[in-house]
Amino acid sequence: MTSQANSFRLTGINHLTYTVQDKDRALRFWEDVLGVEQIPSQVESDHLYWLQLPSGAMVHLVEHADAPSMPAHHGAFEVDDIEAAYAFIRSKGVETTELKTRDDGQREFKLNDSEGNQVEICTKSGFGVLV
C-alpha cells in the first residue's frame, strides 16, 4: 500500500457524473426511485441537473447524445436497510440483480437507471477503513 504522508489524501466523494440522453426522464428516476433530491446548479448550463444525497455527495446528470458511458461505469450508494431498498426499488418495477453478500459481508445489488447507467446499492464494506 502506498502512503502519501506529508502530501495529500483523498477524503471522500464530492460527486459522481452520469451521462444521460434525456435529463428530465433521468431526473424523475433519480428522484422517484432512488430518492435523491435536486439542488440548484452551480454552473451556467442547460444540459445538466445537480442532485445531492444527505451526506452532501452529489450526482450530476449530464445530457449527451452518446449516453450512457461505455464501458459502463457506476457509483455505489450505501443504505442502512438493504432489504427495504431492494424491495422498494423492485416495487417500482425496476429490474435489479439478486441481492448478494460479498466475502467481507457487504451486501449489494445493481440496477440500471432510466438511461441505462448502472447503479449499485450496498451496505458499508465489512473491511472497515484499511488506510
Please write the tens of the pLDDT for every residue from 12-66.
788 999 999 999 999 999 999 999 999 999 888 899 999 999 989 999 999 999 8
How far is residue 126 CA from its own chain's centroid?
Answer: 19
User: Per residue in 55-102, pLDDT tens?
Assistant: 899 999 999 998 888 777 788 999 999 999 999 999 999 999 999 998
d(CA 107, CA 100): 5
Phi first, then psi, for residue 24 (nearest 5°) are -70, -45
pTM over 0.85: no
Name the DSSP class of 112: E
H-run or E-run covering 122: strand 118-122
CATH 3.10.180.10 fits 15-122, yes or no: yes
User: How is the chain split into domains, by residue range?
Assistant: 15-122
d(CA 82, CA 63): 30
- Start-end of H helices in the chain: 23-32, 82-91
Residue with cell 460527486: 15
